[in-house]
Structure 1
Amino acid sequence: NVSNILLNGCDLILDRTFDRIGFNRIDDDVFRKLVKARLAYPTSKAATVEYLKNHFDEDVDLSKIYRYLDKLSDHQHEIVQDISVRHTAKLFGGNIGVLFYDVTTLYFEADYEDDLRKTGFSKEGRHSNPQIILGLLVSLGGYPLAYCIHEGNKYEGHTMLPTINEFVSKYGLENFVVVADSGLMNNANIAELEAHGYKYII
């Protein structure tokens, strides 16, 4: 006499993990749904709407998701970052001892540049497409700490220290090591790292 089956084991596990990390501080059902769907079934926003409907009978309007992304970008990402950093620090006994920094490029299928999307050196070989530079700061184990977005024509070496300095200042970090590849560790950056008293590995 079974009339319906929901494959929601993953959802139940992710719900508990979401709460344990502390993301339930953000009282927004769309945020919870987007995070869980991204982990369980990473796909486009339109396909996420279908996934939520087909697997959980959840009706989330696509335009509502797009509007939510603006809200997330405007101010909520700072709360998300704070929760993530505090959880990571807890995992490492209160001290984030290693900061790994790297960048990538994301290109757009667009004909024209704007203030952010600029043509530049593309890691994907799409030199004629406007792009942005995305920098990511992570801890041991790959836990995300901070990110930055820059114009696509910016030299990637100039993105590292502002991100690290802001993060260190914001969270009062002490006794840590910065790790980055040699493309980011130019002479000027090394000199500035040493001037700040930062330990580093190339």
Structure 2
Amino acid sequence: MRDLFCLKPERVFYDVSSCYFDGEGPEGLARYGQARDQREGNRQILLGVVMVNGWPIAHHVFRGNRHDVETVRPIVADLQKRFGLRRIIFVGDRGMVSTATLGFLWSQGQGFLVGLRRRRSPEVLEYIRKAQSGS
């Protein structure tokens, strides 16, 4: 991948979107979940896309009843395995932030730039303080 497109990824942009079905949808994947487009009564899947320098390099399909934050670990593990990425800076929106997710990224030696939810900021800020002090 890096040779073909001359990409030297330093920032990985990842986002998740939902796709709903009017019928049953694919068995094992289509589930009722958090509807982003006011389709409460429809089954859906989650589609995650990883971008580097404007190029999509990977996609993942998840069950529709998962939350965005639950998709981060498998994505990072897959990027490391498939593309040999050792050091990435994970950029994610507020839906991908949890103390566990940041802890996972930190333990993997990955950088991150994420949005914070106001109501969770004290917890996340305390985690960052501890990580910076090495405790």
Smaller-chain TM-score bracket: 0.7 to 0.9
SS of 2:77's equivalent? Answer: helix
Q: Deviations 1:30-54 (Å, cap 9, x if unpaired)?
A: xxxxxxxxxxxxxxxxxxxxxxxxx
Report which structure shows greater RCO (CA 8 Å, sep ≥6). 2
Q: State the Cα distance separating 1:181 from its structure 2 match.
A: 0.7
Q: Aligned residue for 2:93?
A: 181
Q: State the Cα distance separating 1:188 from its structure 2 match.
A: 0.7
Identical positions, percent:
25
Q: State the Cα distance separating 1:169 from its structure 2 match.
A: 2.1
> 5+ residue gaps in structure 1?
1-81
Q: How does 1:86-101 map to 2 (within 5 A)?
A: 86-88=3-5, 90=6, 92=7, 95-101=8-14
Distance 2:97 2:31 in 1: 23
Q: Retained in 1: the 8 A contact 2:21–2:43? A: yes
Q: State the Cα distance separating 1:174 from its structure 2 match.
A: 2.9
Q: Aligned residue for 1:192?
A: 104
Q: How does 1:102-121 map to 2 (within 5 A)?
A: 102-110=15-23, 114-121=27-34
Q: State the Cα distance separating 1:156 from its structure 2 match.
A: 1.7
Q: State the Cα distance separating 1:113 from its structure 2 match.
A: 7.8
CA change 1:158–1:186 in 2 (3 A) is same
> 5+ residue gaps in structure 2?
115-135
Q: Which has the higher helix share?
A: 1
Q: State the Cα distance separating 1:117 from its structure 2 match.
A: 0.7
Q: State the Cα distance separating 1:159 from its structure 2 match.
A: 0.9
**Count of residue pairs the alignment pairs up:** 114
Q: Retained in 2: the 8 A contact 1:113–1:119? A: no
Distance 2:90 2:25 in 1: 36
Counterpart of 1:107 in structure 2: which amino acid? Y
Q: Retained in 2: the 8 A contact 1:135–1:160? A: no
CA change 1:173–1:111 in 2 (3 A) is closer
Deviating 4+ runs (over 6 angstroms):
none
CA change 1:167–1:132 in 2 (3 A) is same
The range that moved more, 151-160 or 113-122, is 113-122
TM-score, normalization by structure 1: 0.52
1:137 and 2:50 matched: yes
2:69 to 154, 157, 181: 157
Counterpart of 2:109 in structure 1: which amino acid? G
Q: Which has the larger radius of gyration?
A: 1
